[in-house]
Structure 1
Amino acid sequence: MHFHTIVAWLVLWLAANSAVAKQIQLLGGQLSFASPVDISQSHSAPGETNRYSVLTNLASADGTFLVSVTYGKHSLKAPDIADFLQQKVESYTRLNAKLPHFRWIKHQIVERDGRSWAEICLSHDNDSGAHVYTRCLSCFVNGHLLEIWALTRRTADPTRKAYVDRLIDSVRLAPRA
């Protein structure tokens, strides 16, 4: 009887967590990720720049969970993800060393769906004193830089950090043709 109770609770938990995840598809369905938080198009989405296009800028209703996906040009002559990651880490370290409590959690090259991705994870306090937890995945697609950013301004809440991790872990890009 105890086994059936555990299985029933597990099924209910999985159903509740699966129902919450919202599947997002971009780049004609080639890029997908699942948001464990109800998010919609942000009203403060930045426009296009001469370097990249914002494919989507999403936010939770309370603005504490944000997702941004960009696609565009890069400054490397020959796109090499390891060189890109090194430049990104150096740049962020230099720029953000002034931020209160800036801390690298990790920065590494990961393999997903047959592609190499640069992954960064960091935390810092923003101008309003909120502790921010950020993760980003970056890769080169057809010579362009694709970046998926997810962050929460409620780092003290382990559930919110887990939401960022679940979204980044769900990112899928169709294999190269």
Structure 2
Amino acid sequence: MTLFKHVLLASHGTPGAVAAENMALQVCASEGMIDHLIVVPEFWQGMTGDDWLNNGVTRNQFNDYLQTELGKEVDQQCNRLQRKVSAHAFNYHSLIFFGKPDQALLECTKKQAYDLIVLGSSRPRRMPGLPVLRSTMLTKQLITAIQTATLIVPYPE
């Protein structure tokens, strides 16, 4: 099996993303580097509310609360994955973006050359007990624009 020195791993901690993490650990070369891309999707911006019941102070307080909670979640994911990567003696670097996941990944590949990109596949549409929200990482734009070898890991059974 070919091993890769510098891997870009997109993960946000869901089961499909964890499958991608595990694969990245298998294909990373000894003393390699895993750059962890985590994206806070832009749809969170609209969660602050703008109806007539909310005044500016309430909106700002909720916005601060939401940013704090999202920051904690991102930090938890980064810390969890850093421990996992370090346990395999690989180097870890987090890349945190706010916006569209596919555009964030493309931006990363423009700033840094990678040997491999590792992504989890889209979750099957209908899975009992799971929310219907799905990642938008694997867009047609991304698939046609990417210039780096990409490994799309199947969703775990």
TM-score by length of 2: 0.25
TM-score by length of 1: 0.23
